[in-house]
Amino acid sequence: MAAIDRYISTFVSVRCRAFIQLKVAHRMAPLVIILCMVICSHTLIFFDHQPTCGPQLGPYGLFYSVFLIVIGGVLPNFLLVLFGFWTIRNVKASRRRVVALQYLRHKQKRDAQLVLMIFAQAIVSFLLNSTRMSCYSYHLLTANRPNNSFQQTVDNFLVQFSIILAYTNYSESFYINTLMKSTTTSKSTTTAPIATSTTTTSTTTSSGTTSVSITTSRTTSTASSVTTTSAAPTSTTSSVITESTTTSKTATTSTSTSTSAITVIPR
């Protein structure tokens, strides 16, 4: 139901999105309950209540094993993946109408996160449900075989343990969605390393003047405001020093600091 709700919420039509309102959910809840009661109504007839509540052995036991695997394991996960892909298709169709590149990049990250969440939920749900269905089906199919008390104890333990796993399936979506959200957030807050390079060049002219040029550049990927600062050159009798600091920002901010043109003229 949650996958169907997500799928309907991505429709472009306002009339379709109005179908997921709270008042509609109140009307649909009794219909879903009645549908589940009709599908499982055969258990009221073919289940034995003594000594324990369980399906009758024989043909109905085989039918109930197949019914449990299809209705409880295969069909829910198939619908989850199917409506998940339809949801992604609707999201991509709505994204084509947006022109802004920054918003487009953000939507691509959200699409990737949505795909990861759907596949993770489907895989975990399939593992939990298939364990329950497999153990219970094995227990029903081997009930007529003569087993010792130890083998019966092991079979009963596996069945009860698989029931616990089946109940865990009803809460796994919360933990999976929370884990995927925290993982994506931690990846997006990782900053790029700082790159620093230094270049030194020394030349000698014919008049005996030595020119030393030192260039240091430092680049970071942090978001800062656009600032431009220029320091006026200072001249003395022995040296000429020119220093300029420029900070600019386009999509990401790059900071470059260069100190150059240090010339020493002998007297």
Mark whether 180 and 199 lie in a shared domain: no
Residues 8 and 69 both lie in one domain: yes
Q: Among residues 188, 220, 250, which one ends one of the domains?
A: 188
Neighbouring C-alpha atoms within 13 Å toward the C-beta of 248: 5
User: Do residues 68 and 148 share a domain?
Assistant: yes
Judge if 46 and 177 occupy the same domain: yes
3-class DSSP assignment, residue 249: strand
Q: Are residues 150 and 260 in the same domain?
A: no
DSSP of 230-241, one letter per residue? EPPPEE-SSEEE
Same domain, 180 and 254: no
Instruction: Give the mean pLDDT per block of 10 residues along the chain (267 residues).
Output: 75 73 82 89 84 78 82 82 81 62 63 74 79 77 74 82 81 73 56 42 40 42 35 36 35 36 44
DSSP state of 70: I
Query: What pLDDT is stored for residue 100 in this prediction?
Result: 52
99 and 219 assigned to the same domain: no
Residue of 195, 197, 245, 251 whose CA lies nearest to 223 = 251
Query: Quick one: 31 and 89 in the same domain?
Result: yes
Task: Give me the pLDDT at residue 246, please.
Answer: 35
Kindly state whether residues 221 and 168 are assigned to the same domain: no
Indicate if 41 and 146 belong to the same structural domain: yes
pLDDT of residue 34: 93
Q: Which domain holds residue 144?
A: 2-188
Q: What is the DSSP letter of 18?
A: G
Q: Are residues 117 and 209 in the same domain?
A: no
Number of domains in the chain: 2
Quote the CA–CA distance of 73 and 49 in Å, as a whole number: 25
Domain stops at, among 161, 188, 215 = 188
So what's the pLDDT on residue 106?
A: 64
Choose the final residue of a domain: 169, 188, 207: 188
Per-residue confidence (pLDDT) for residue 245, from 0 to 100:
35
Question: pTM, whole model, 2 decimals?
Answer: 0.49
Q: Looking at the structure, do residues 134 and 66 belong to the same domain, yes or no?
A: yes
